[in-house]
Chain A
Amino acid sequence: MAENVKKMKPIWFFVGLILLVMGGVILATGVYDLIARVESKTVLARLHPNIWWGAIMVLAGLIFVLANKNATVE
């Protein structure tokens, strides 16, 4: 059991993982909509918030994942 406990990944790794995947999906959707010229009816759609907000999430997710990829909880 003690060995198992040492190998547990910290929560920050999982936070990074979920931000990375969700941000990736949002960013990909935004890029697709831009390339395929999909019309959005939302206010401020011209700012393409799904592209830059998705990119911010991917960046935050990468930082969390890379900073904790080898970390374990004692």
Chain B
Amino acid sequence: MQAIGLHFSDWIIILFYFAFIIGIGFYLKKYTKSEDDFFLAGRRNSSWVAGLAFLSANLGALELLGMTGNTFKYGMYVAHFYWIGAIPAMLFLGIFMMPFYYSGRIKSVPGYLKLRFDEKTRVLNGISFAIMTLLVSGINLYAMALVLHTFLGWNWDVSMWASAVTVAVYVTLSGLMSAIFTEIIQFFLIWFGLFLVSVLGIIEIGSLGEIMQRVPEAFSKLWSTSGDPTQNGMMITWGGIVLGLGFVLSFGYWTTDFLVVQRAFSAKNLRSARMTPIIASFFKMAVPFIVIVAGLIALVLSKDPNSGFALTSDGGKLNYDSALPMLIARYFPRGLVGLGITALLAGFMAGQAGNISAFNTVWTYDIYQSVINKKASPKHLLWMGRMATIVGIIMSVATAYWAKSMPTIMDYMQAIFSWVNAPLFATMLLGMFVKWITPNGAFWGLIAGMGSSITMYLAVKFEWISISAVTFSKVASDMAANFWRAWWAWLICFVVTIVVSLFTKKKPEEELVGLVKGLTKEIAGEFVPWYKKPAFFAVLSLIVFVLLNIYFW
């Protein structure tokens, strides 16, 4: 394809963004004196700051490109990722789980596992999370360079190294604080930079109603075609959506993935921490107004022979990820192109910073201090956090080069969350709500869950078993297989944890106070009227969620 041309004003915007975020890193360094400042942003964030960062840590450019492309491919079903695949889990985290996380003053999710269970469960989760985070970070870096090379014609190495070094500079200087600052800036750039695509698309086609009328019926519905997998583009039943995506993958990601939960830990008090995912839920429900609407606009335009719009193709195969860049090229004149590209760059780099800031915390506390140097001083841990940032970036770059030489590892990445997060959610759920679950039960449950998920993935990939053995249907997409595999991994971890707990030694109840429901007193914080309570906002969010699902049923 012909590269999108950039004008002088586009370059000014892009270069200004790079200078601005490096400047923020230097500005915040003088406020980053202690390990709490570096790893937890000083625990002084309001619920709005933590909430927008919580959402933005997940709102990467790969997701924006991929989900817009997926909408072109699957239609409205992609909205399940934003609604049933996120909202119930975010509200559950805020209302039920956050008190256990926040009250323990822990610094990471593996840190909770140490307090609730034991050291070996913490280290197992710490190592698997660190590996997953670096892999995701490296793949993101590779994908970013690929996108910039494909659509802008930029040099692969230069774009990768420029963004990696920029992220390394500002995260090394001021840790989670600068990561959160850049995530919030990314949030605004994405809305200002990409929402305009939907606005102009709607103006060109006529109205949102016209767009919905011009796409196939199966592409404009959320649930009414989910009874039969042959009737929807995703080839999945409602059972797979509810159990796999809505329950296991969603709760596994939003309630246990330290990348997002770390943002809530940075809140200034328990109420702010509980409000963090609840505030984020409202904005999460709004993201489809960028990605789903843009994907449907691309679909409508591509079906109209007079529009002159088409996705790019790679070896005769449609490149669905090109939908959003092609719309930017179609609608954005000079200046706005720079903003659109900066929004994508900000998404890539903030995602990279999020992964690295989560990695440096887990490495420093849950692997280094836990296994290698138990007597490390706070000053030494701060130094180690900065070193872990630099090493993490170098390992991400190495992973990106590995991905470049072996693109098939991208296939594995799509499945990695169901390997690590899905079973971990079973461990957390049992750990927080059932007091007789034992350390050995949690450890062996996690091993069984992770092992079974990886085994199922390899067994289907290398055709040792049929995909229908996992999905219960003769037809299934890779995405459907992911959902179902996550469900089985969760169930196996859940059952093994319970069975092993029945036969192994329990922890004394006095060691579980503050960590398990039934042994934790309600914390009486500052008095707030009912309309400022987290539960009130959670109910509001739930009402909007239900209405959206009914409207697009």
- How many contacts between A and B, using CB within 8 angstroms? 98
**Contact status B44-A74, CB under 8 Å:** yes
Let me know if B536 is at the binding interface, CB within 8 A: no
Check if A26 sits within 8 Å of B339, measured CB to CB. Answer: yes
A-B CB contact pairs (8 Å), 14 listed: A8-B31, A14-B20, A18-B188, A22-B342, A26-B338, A29-B334, A42-B330, A42-B331, A44-B204, A45-B333, A47-B203, A48-B333, A49-B331, A50-B334
* Neighbouring A residues of B49 by C-beta, 8 Å: 10-11
Shortest Cβ gap from B45 to chain A (Å): 9
Inter-chain CA distance A25–B339, complex, in Å, is 10
Q: Are the CB atoms of A57 and B192 closer together than 8 Å?
A: yes
Shortest CB–CB separation between residue A63 and chain B, in angstroms?
Answer: 12
CB-based contact A4/B30 at 8 Å: yes
A10-23: contact bitstring with B at CB < 8 Å (1 yes, 0 no)? 11001101110110
Which listed segment binds A: B8-16, B161-169, B423-431?
B8-16
Closest to A45 in B: B333
**A47 to B199 CA separation, bound complex (whole angstroms):** 12
Provide the bound-state CA to CA distance between A47 and B204, in Å. 11
Q: How far is the CB of A58 from chain B (nearest CB, A)?
A: 11
Are B203 and A11 within 8 A (Cβ)?
no
Q: Specify which chain B residues have a CB less than 8 angstroms from the CB of A18 in the assembled complex.
A: 16-17, 20, 185, 188-189
Are A30 and B31 within 8 A (Cβ)? Answer: no
Give the distance in Å from the alpha carbon of A33 to the alpha carbon of B8 in the complex: 13
B82 at interface by CB-CB < 8 Å: no
Contacts of A15 in B (CB 8 A): 184-185, 188
Is residue A35 contacting chain B, with contact meaning CB distance below 8 A?
Answer: no
Q: Is the CB of B335 within 8 A of A30?
A: yes
Mark each residue of chain B from 198 to 227: 1 if its CB lies under 8 Å from any CB of chain A, else 0: 001001100000000000000000000000
* Interface flag for B33 (CB, 8 Å): yes
Given contacts A11-B49, A25-B9, A47-B203, contact A5 B332 (CB under 8 A): no
Taking A28-B9, A50-B336, A60-B192 as known contacts, 5 extra A-B pairs with beta carbons closer than 8 A to each other, sorted by chain A number, are A11-B181, A40-B333, A42-B329, A42-B331, A44-B331
Chain B proximity of A30: nearest CB distance (Å):
6
With A26-B335, A43-B331 in contact, do A53 and B20 touch (Cβ < 8 Å)?
no
Given A14-B185, A19-B192, the answer on whether A44 and B13 have CB atoms closer than 8 Å is no
- How far is A38 from B45 in the complex, measured between Cα atoms in Å? 46
- Residues of chain A lying within 8 A (CB to CB) of residue B519: none
In the complex, A4→B30 CA distance in Å?
8
In the assembled complex, how far is the CB of residue B49 from the closest CB belonging to chain A, in whole angstroms?
6
Complex CA distance for A42 and B197, rounded to whole angstroms: 12
List chain A residues, Cβ under 8 A from B20. 14, 17-18
Interface size on A, as a range, is 35 or more
- Among A5, A11, A40, A73, which residue has its beta carbon within 8 angstroms of that of B184? A11
The 9 closest A-B pairs by CB, nearest first: A29-B335, A26-B335, A29-B9, A40-B333, A50-B335, A42-B333, A50-B336, A11-B184, A50-B333
Give the CA-CA distance A29 to B42 in the complex, in Å. 41
B 308-334 to A, binary, CB cutoff 8 A, 1 in contact else 0: 000000000000000000000111111
* CB neighbors of B among A43-69 (8 A): 43-45, 47-50, 53-54, 57, 60
Across the interface, B13 reaches (CB within 8 A) one of A1, A4, A14, A25, namely: A25
B307 to chain A, nearest CB (A): 9
| Minimum distance in angstroms from B350 CB to a CB of chain A | 13
**Residues of B contacting A40 with CB < 8 Å?**
333-334
**Cβ–Cβ contact B31 & A44, under 8 A:** no
Residues 28-53 of B contacting A (Cβ, < 8 Å): 28, 30-31, 33, 42, 44, 49
Q: B31–A49 contact, CB under 8 A?
A: no
Taking the closest CB of chain A, its distance from the CB of B540, in whole angstroms, is: 23
- Knowing A11-B181, A49-B196 are in contact, say whether A26-B31 is a contact too (CB < 8 A): no
A74 to B180, CA, bound (A): 17
Cβ A42 vs Cβ B188 within 8 A:
no
Q: List CB contacts (< 8 Å) of B147-187 with chain A.
A: 180-181, 184-185
Closest chain A residue to B12 by CB distance? A25
Docked Cα-Cα span, A38 to B334, in Å, equals 10
- Assembly CA distance A48 to B28 (angstroms): 38
How many angstroms from the CA of A47 to the CA of B333 in the assembled complex? 11
Chain A residues with Cβ under 8 A from B336's Cβ? Answer: 26, 49-50, 53
Which residue among B30, B42, B180, B192 has the maximum number of chain A CB atoms within 10 Å of its CB? B192
User: Chain A residue with minimal CB distance to B24?
Assistant: A14
Cβ contacts under 8 Å, B31 to chain A? 4-5, 8
Please indicate the chain B residues that have their CB under 8 angstroms from the CB of A44 in the complex.
200, 203-204, 331
CB A10 to nearest CB in B, in angstroms, measures: 8
Report A-chain residues with C-beta under 8 Å of the C-beta of B332: 42, 49
Whether A73 and B44, one on each chain, are in contact in the complex, defined by CB atoms closer than 8 angstroms, is yes
Q: How far is the CA of A38 from the CA of B30 in the complex (A)?
A: 46
With A and B bound together, what is the CA distance between A38 and B50 in angstroms? 44
**Most B C-beta atoms less than 10 A away, residue of A28, A33, A43:** A43
